[in-house]
């Protein structure tokens, strides 16, 4: 029987954590088969149940802010999802090294190992790099990374299926997570709050598998909102837009300043 070659994604290999409920046998089997196909080491991280997460993992739940951020109240599955990522962030801080975090309903594309190599080479500098497919994001080209391109998001997409994270960014996320005010992907996308620029590596190499349709996160369907909530959501989105614009303009200014500084250093060296 032909076996695929052993591929070392990067050296040293970043720790890969796959968040998964211990009872999700089909998802675990699927995740293990795909990662072992590329001879990648990984560890299943037991997902936290939504029933216990709110009391044990957060200092509180601000329902009014959650409503403003999403237009609905929190459901148990997404509370557990957030708590699980939060636990891995804390593990990342304890280890004091960057890690790869995955949810167990992924489908890996062929360039996944090479994408991990580029992730390992850039995570210390950029802090958060997404490998999962997206839609409706907005992004600014940062640099070429071999076959890939690194982008800085000017509007971060939803989803937290696969990303690399450094201890410093994990600490910033943990600091913003004491009170539950939004689902994980909504909280993370608000870079104007946590202060961390967010990046993605394309072409994306991780997408949703068919297993993602059978999710434990229920209740996220859009619902008709009363007029008061519609007005609150409108005000909140306007605030997000203004703060996102201000952050993006500051990042553009910093990027140009770094480019000018690098050019001056090159001229002095050549002169």
CA angle 198, 141, 263 (to 5 degrees): 105
- The CA distances from residue 230 to 68, 218, 238, in Å, are 9, 22, 12
- For 147-184, the pLDDT digits (tens) are 999 999 999 999 999 999 999 999 999 999 999 999 99
pLDDT of residue 115: 96
Structure tokens at 161: 């299926």
Query: Which are the contacts of 102, defined by CB distance < 8 A and separation ≥ 6?
Result: 16, 17, 18, 19, 31, 42, 161, 162, 206
- The CA distances from residue 75 to 5, 85, 121, 172, in Å, are 43, 16, 37, 24
Contact 218, 75 (CB under 8 A): yes
Mean pLDDT for the chain overall: 87
- Is the pLDDT at 103 greater than 70, yes or no? yes
Coil, strand or helix: which one is 136?
coil
Percent of the chain with pLDDT over 70: 85
- Is the pLDDT at 5 greater than 50, yes or no? no
pLDDT of residue 232: 87
**Which residues does residue 180 pair with via DSSP β-bridges, in sequence order?**
61
Kindly report the pTM of this predicted structure: 0.85
- For 224-244, the pLDDT digits (tens) are 778 888 888 999 999 999 999
Structure tokens at 29: 């089997």
- Sign for the pseudo-dihedral over CA of 117, 118, 119, 121: positive
- Is the pLDDT at 218 greater than 80, yes or no? no
Structure tokens at 223: 């619902």
Rounded CA separation 157/12 (Å): 29
Coil, strand or helix: which one is 223?
coil
Helix, strand and coil content of the chain, in percent to the nearest 5, comes to 50, 20, 30
Q: Please give the distance of CA 36 from its chain centroid, rounded to a whole number.
A: 23
The values of phi and psi at residue 142, to 5°, are: -100, -55
Query: Which runs of consecutive H residues, i.e. helices, occur in 105-207?
Result: 112-126, 167-175, 184-189, 191-194
Tokens 């994408």 belong to residue: 115
pLDDT of residue 227: 84
Rounded CA separation 14/11 (Å): 8
- For 140-157, the pLDDT digits (tens) are 999 999 999 999 999 999
- Is the pLDDT at 80 greater than 50, yes or no? yes
Count of helix runs (H) and strand runs (E) in the chain:
9, 12
Q: How confident is the model at residue 74 (pLDDT cuts 50, 70, 90)?
A: very high
Structure tokens at 270: 């050549």
Closest to 188 measured CA to CA, from 118, 129, 233, 108: 129
pLDDT of residue 7: 39
pLDDT of residue 267: 46
Tokens 């959501």 belong to residue: 233
């Amino acid at each position: 029987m032909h076996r695929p070659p052993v591929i070392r994604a990067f050296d040293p290999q970043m720790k890969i954590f796959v968040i998964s409920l211990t009872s999700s046998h089909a998802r675990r089997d699927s995740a293990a088969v795909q990662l072992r196909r590329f001879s990648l080491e990984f560890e299943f991280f037991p997902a936290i149940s939504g029933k216990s997460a709110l009391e044990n993992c957060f200092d509180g739940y601000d329902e009014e802010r959650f409503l403003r951020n999403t237009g609905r109240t929190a459901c148990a599955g997404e509370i557990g999802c957030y708590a699980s990522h939060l636990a891995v962030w804390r593990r990342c801080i304890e280890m004091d090294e960057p890690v790869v975090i995955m949810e167990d309903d992924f489908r890996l594309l062929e360039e996944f190992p090479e994408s991990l190599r580029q992730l390992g080479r850039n995570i210390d500098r950029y802090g958060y790099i997404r490998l999962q497919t997206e839609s409706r994001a907005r992004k600014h080209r940062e640099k070429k990374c071999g076959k890939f391109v690194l982008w800085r998001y000017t509007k971060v997409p939803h989803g937290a299926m696969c990303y690399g994270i450094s201890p410093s960014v994990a600490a910033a996320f943990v600091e913003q997570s004491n009170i539950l005010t939004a689902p994980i992907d909504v909280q993370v996308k608000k870079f104007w709050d946590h202060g961390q620029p967010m990046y993605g590596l394309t072409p994306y190499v991780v997408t949703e598998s068919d297993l993602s349709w059978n999710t434990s996160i229920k209740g996220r369907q859009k619902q008709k909102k009363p007029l008061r909530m519609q007005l609150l959501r409108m005000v909140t989105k306007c605030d997000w837009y203004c703060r996102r614009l201000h952050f993006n303009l500051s990042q553009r200014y910093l990027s140009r300043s770094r480019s000018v500084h690098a050019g001056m250093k090159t001229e002095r060296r050549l002169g």
